[in-house]
Chain A
Amino acid sequence: MRRVVVIALLLALPGVATAADGKQVYGRYCVMCHGPNGVGNTNPDSVVGQGPGRDTTIQPGIGPSLRNVGALAADFYLRTGYMPLKRTGLQPRRSRLLLSNAQIEALIKYVASLGHGPPIPHPQPERGSLSEGQRLFASNCAGCHQIMARGGYVTHAVPPPLGQATATEIAEAVRIGPYVMPRFSPKQISNAQLNSLIRYVQWTQKPDDRGGLSLGRVGPVPEGLVTWFVGAAALVALCLVIGRRLHG
């Protein structure tokens, strides 16, 4: 019943997002795992039923506390579609946004009001150094995300490729450490260094591709495929042409 009321209210309200609206969105999508007022829920016996965006009828309903995570975290998880999570326990992945822009803004305001967390960052990658960014990325990020940010593998997790990441999202992820990613505080990577890092990641989205058709910039595996299915295939075909058996 309460849900019906919430839905009706949501439909009835006009555009401007407020923290109060956010609370209603929170109630619809988030409270079952993140608890009332964002306190979090670590009770292993709590279950969550069917709901929007969830792909099973029953699943464990636990989630971290959102107190003091700030607009930074909310903005990251909502704009990427990491949250709402389809199923608890899975790695959050970039996905289709379930919430409208208005709903997201409202939710961000609400989560930001839960304590004193960091605001949405405004990185300035154009002020960073590309070379410093490359060095930082090679030292801190390439192990998981691959040197050209094409994504990779860690035992039981999949660091995603960064081809679609915006500057803000990168800045946010670095400060949060989502899922099993390490968290890099300003003591470890300063805001100026972060600008350089983001500048490098953006560069990997359009890198120096001299030498011709790039085969994905992931290394020798596609090169081997071209060797066999283009190079060797063409030359064997030629052998078939040259070496026709004569009759007579």
Chain B
Amino acid sequence: MIRKVVCYVDTRTGTAPFLRKALRYLFPDHWSFLLGEIALYAFIVLVATGVYLTFFFVDSRQDVVYHGPYAPLQGQHMSEAYRSVLDISMTVKAGLLIRQTHHWAANVFLAAVILHLFRVFFTGAYRKPRELTWLIGVTMLMLALLEAYIGYSMVDDLMSGMGLVIGYAVGLSIPFVGANLMGWLFHGPFPGGAVLIPRLYIAHVLIFPVLIAVLLTLHLVLVALRHHSQFRGRRQTERTVIGIPLYPGQTPRSLGLMLSVAGVLFLLGGLVQINPIWLWGPFHTYISTNGAQPDWYLGWLIGGLRLMPGFDVTIGHYTLIPGPFWGGALFPLVVFGFLYFWPYVERKLTGDVAFHNLLDRPRDNPRRTGIGVGMVTWVFLVFVAGSSDRVQVLFGLSYTGQIWFYRVAVLVLPVVAGLVAAWVCRQLVRGEQIEEDRRRAETEGRLELASRFDQA
């Protein structure tokens, strides 16, 4: 029976030689290589649940009056878009499950991408010949951040509407052309034209997913063409890759991971509330709520916006750099710039232009690890600063005090953390060398003792 199928496929497509090679493609066996797969499977869940939602979401800013089953919003004015999401959450069977799974999948997708990025960065997997794969990956991260932001903003609830105006303000703060750009994008100054929500919708369900899918395909193809990198080992060398073949070994493992990712996401989607937009109510430009926060992956930006002191840089009558530029635009520009250019900067710094199929352990490259830890600490501190008002409410720590603390900490602590990390790496490597020397000395000693014994 199996033979019949294979015969059919080969006679119709001629791919048996390709399959013979492809099915035996080797996957080096380390758990950290599966992080990218988590992201991939979360993306699949996003697309699947997203397609379902597209059939129910109404991308219209048209003002309507609510007459549905949710009592606290009875008779209130809202956009059709917001009302359609209320309906998905309250009226469509399984609608809330799919909606929540979709949102959890987005959160977990970005977490997985970042974990995967850490693994690639701290092991040096981005080095020649894999720079292209890295650049595509960083681009996908940027697209994913925007895609998620647009996705929860098109719901037009109070919290995401506030987030949208802030994004608009950051765009406005781009020197010289910010207002022209934002007026063009939003179709007028905030709140923009009626076409804004349809624009967000089509970007979210068509343009960005297609871009991400194309880049993802390229990313995976590049990985396969050059083969996975691998950690050093007894048999692993720059020329020989050791691993589990795609079939039959890796297939059930990867399938199992895929189903687990989907399972965890659906469990979260059914059991843990996320983004309960009916509680926030519809967005209006003239109301706001305390404690509004963006989703976690944009928390670093709200931190940036809160930490900067209040000033616009002006030249005469012209406002060259409005305040939000530093925390909202320059900060992510620097971080992404670092990510994009790092492989080339490292090449310049180390002079290492060789091919690398073998990975470093983080401790094997103290400088890279130190710089990486410093960058992560910097971004993380700014991120934490973004929720200091909730810390004040929960723990009583003064908000203004925290802001001043963070203003100093984000300049000092990353340097300290980076230096400490580099030192720890060196200590660990030294410790291993000492251990290795000790073992060698013991073996030599034992051999010598044995040979003396023989002679005697």
Contacts and interface: CB of A to CB of B under 8 A. Distances in A.
B390 A218 contact: yes
Interface string B260-292: 110011001011111110111100000111111
Nearest to B104: A231
A224 B110 CA distance: 11
Given A208-B70, A217-B279, A236 B35 contact: yes
Nearest to A131: B74
A140 to B, nearest CB: 9
B32 interface: yes
B400 A228 contact: no
A133 B270 CA distance: 30
Contact of A147 (B29, B32, B158): B158
Given A131-B74, A213-B271, A243 B296 contact: no
A245 B296 contact: no
B111 interface: yes
A237 to B, nearest CB: 9
Contacts of A130: 71-72, 74
B400 A151 contact: no
B244 A153 contact: no
A138 B104 CA distance: 27
A215 B400 contact: no
Interface in B227-251: 244
Interface in A136-164: 138-139, 142-148, 150-153, 155-156, 158-159, 161
Interface residues of B, number: 66
Given A138-B287, A153-B290, A158-B393, A238 B276 contact: no
Given A148-B279, A212-B273, A236-B115, A142 B289 contact: yes
Contacts of A230: 268, 272
Given A224-B107, A238-B260, A239-B38, A159 B71 contact: no
B450 to A, nearest CB: 28
Interface string B377-395: 0000000000101101100
A134 B393 contact: no
A211 B71 CA distance: 17
B399 interface: yes
B158 A211 contact: no
A239 B74 contact: no
A239 B287 contact: no
A73 B159 CA distance: 34
Q: Which of A210, A224, A234, A244 has the most CB of B within 10 A?
A: A224
B144 to A, nearest CB: 14
Candidate in A151, A207, A234, A239 with the most chain B CB atoms within 10 angstroms: A239
Contacts of A211: 89, 96, 100, 272-274, 276
A148 B277 CA distance: 11
A144 B287 CA distance: 11
Contacts of B272: 211-213, 215, 226, 230
B76 A135 contact: yes
Contacts of A220: 275, 293-296, 299
A240 interface: yes
A212 B257 contact: no
A227 B90 contact: no
Interface in A184-242: 200, 203, 207-215, 217-221, 223-224, 226-228, 230-232, 234-236, 238-240, 242
Given A226-B268, A235-B260, A146 B89 contact: no
Contacts of B72: 130-131, 133-134, 200, 203, 208
B253 A146 contact: no
Contact of B29 (A135, A150, A245): A245
A232 B112 contact: yes
A242 B34 CA distance: 9
A246 interface: yes
Interface in B313-351: none
B108 interface: yes
Contacts of A219: 159, 291-293
B30 interface: yes
Nearest to A231: B108
Nearest to B157: A147
Interface string B75-104: 110000000000001100000100010001
Contacts of B387: 221
27 contacts: A134-B76, A139-B287, A142-B289, A142-B290, A147-B280, A147-B289, A153-B291, A155-B399, A210-B90, A211-B96, A211-B276, A212-B270, A214-B273, A220-B275, A221-B387, A223-B107, A223-B274, A224-B297, A227-B111, A231-B107, A231-B108, A231-B264, A232-B111, A232-B115, A235-B264, A239-B257, A243-B253
Given A228-B296, A239-B257, A243-B32, 18 more contacts: A130-B72, A131-B72, A131-B73, A138-B158, A143-B289, A152-B389, A153-B393, A219-B292, A220-B294, A220-B296, A221-B299, A223-B107, A224-B296, A232-B115, A235-B108, A235-B261, A240-B31, A244-B29
Interface of B: 29-35, 38, 70-76, 89-90, 96, 100, 104, 107-108, 111-112, 115, 158-159, 244, 253, 256-257, 260-261, 264-265, 268, 270-276, 278-281, 287-297, 299, 387, 389-390, 392-393, 399-400
Interface of A: 130-131, 133-135, 138-139, 142-148, 150-153, 155-156, 158-159, 161, 200, 203, 207-215, 217-221, 223-224, 226-228, 230-232, 234-236, 238-240, 242-246
**What 6 pairs across the A-B complex have the smallest Cβ distances?**
A224-B296, A152-B290, A243-B31, A211-B273, A147-B289, A227-B107
